[in-house]
Amino acid sequence: MLIKNRSFSKKIKMISGILPSFLKIFIYKMMGAEIGKGVRIGFGSVVIGEKIKIGEFSKISMFTYIRGREIKIGRYVSIGSQTVIDTEKIEIDDDAKITEQVFIGGLSSPDSLLKMGKRTTIMKMSFINTTKPVVIGDDTGVGGHCLLFTHGSWQNKLEGYPVAFAPISLGKNVWLPWRIFIMPGVSIGDGCTIGADSLVTKDIPAGSLAAGSPAKVIKTAEEYPKKLTFEEKNNTMVNILEEFIAYLSYNGLNIDSEKKKESYCSKILTGNSEYRLNYYNSELMEENLKNLNKNTFLLSLKNIPKDLRIKMTQSSIMWADLYSKERNGTNNIGEETLKYLSRYGIRFDRTD
């Protein structure tokens, strides 16, 4: 054969399985890889590429194999165990997540590509064929057992059977629940939701709700999703935060909360540490920052003024702006809150 099969050699598997993460990273760096601080590569995992770049605090779990000519993994990316990513070019942006037992690869071509935007997720047991490019926009979720195919071929094209090779594009903030099949050449617009067990054979316009086999548009952007008033958004946020506080209390934390018309603030005690979660629905002012410290997480429904953002950042106060969907800083209460908010699809872009 003229083209050799680039399989994982037994030697590479054995060495990578034996070495601890820090030593594995050291060797990768010696071979020219760019790897940021806080990166962890699990037992038995392999990353092979001509160009490798992994951002800060990304994690690759056990027995996962990643291979491509060019591999670029952003910051705070999480890739689960027993996952295979094998394609020519891999681009995974910040805060993206691939869970366990996902397979990404298939027939190879010069333009084979997996490109995942920020805060995207691919859930377990999904199969994504990247013979042609698969591009997934920011904040898009691919549920478990989904099948995305950029090629469809088996029977003889010269005998009239259909053969297709074409890229797949998922826009920003798209949701594919479990068991969705996407055919070659399909483009799904921003803000779409596809019903479970659907077969998508044609493009879906932005802002649509579609379902069926084959999938058909049920609701268009004019009626989907429902537009909330400011009061409805505030009531929703307070309800979510009350659920979150109850969740913390259930897990043994001592909490003292105070709800006012313009705010919902909580003191959380754990061991010898005290954390504060302060939510505001009104314009933030200087007085809102009094008595706050690095163990505070400030959450605002309205846009946070630039000068207050700067002051909080300088004081190591973690904050998140629900209006602009931006966040800055890190601490235990903030990360725990944002993790809980993600249950409701509320996610933020990092500004730091």
Identify the pLDDT of residue 15. 56
For residue 247, being part of any structural domain is answered with yes
| pLDDT of 196 above 60 | yes
Q: What is the mean pLDDT of residues 241-257?
A: 94
Do 25 and 127 lie in one domain? The reply is yes
Domain boundary (166, 185, 219) is at 219
| pLDDT of 8 above 60 | no
Identify the pLDDT of residue 221. 85
Q: What is the CA radius of gyration of the chain?
A: 23
Collect all residues with Cβ–Cβ distance below 8 Å to 25 and sequence separation of at least 6: 35, 39, 41
Q: How confident is the model at residue 7 (pLDDT cuts 50, 70, 90)?
A: low
Identify the pLDDT of residue 100. 97
What CATH number is attached to the domain comprising 208?
A: 2.160.10.10
Do 32 and 71 lie in one domain? The reply is yes
For residue 225, being part of any structural domain is answered with no
Do 332 and 204 lie in one domain? The reply is no
Domain boundary (190, 219, 248) is at 219
Tally of structural domains, the chain: 2
Identify the pLDDT of residue 54. 98
Q: What is the mean pLDDT of residues 240-245?
A: 96
Q: How confident is the model at residue 110 (pLDDT cuts 50, 70, 90)?
A: very high
| pLDDT of 271 above 60 | yes
| pLDDT of 4 above 90 | no
Q: Which domain holds residue 117?
A: 10-219
Instruction: Give kind and range of the element (H or E) at residue 148.
Output: strand 147-148
For residue 5, being part of any structural domain is answered with no
| pLDDT of 203 above 90 | yes
Do 36 and 177 lie in one domain? The reply is yes
For residue 153, being part of any structural domain is answered with yes
Identify the pLDDT of residue 10. 54
What CATH number is attached to the domain comprising 311?
A: 3.40.1350
Domain boundary (219, 247, 279) is at 219
Share of the chain above pLDDT 70, in %: 95
Q: How confident is the model at residue 89 (pLDDT cuts 50, 70, 90)?
A: very high
Round to whole Å and give the CA distance between 229 and 281.
13
Identify the pLDDT of residue 238. 96
Identify the pLDDT of residue 290. 86
Round to whole Å and give the CA distance between 94 and 58.
9
CB of 151 closer than 8 Å to CB of 131: yes
Q: What is the pTM of this model?
A: 0.91
| pLDDT of 14 above 60 | no
Do 131 and 110 lie in one domain? The reply is yes
Do 236 and 213 lie in one domain? The reply is no
pLDDT tens digit string along 143-167? 999 999 999 989 999 999 999 999 9
Do 206 and 344 lie in one domain? The reply is no
Instruction: Give SS3 for 238.
Output: helix
Do 251 and 338 lie in one domain? The reply is yes
Do 182 and 319 lie in one domain? The reply is no
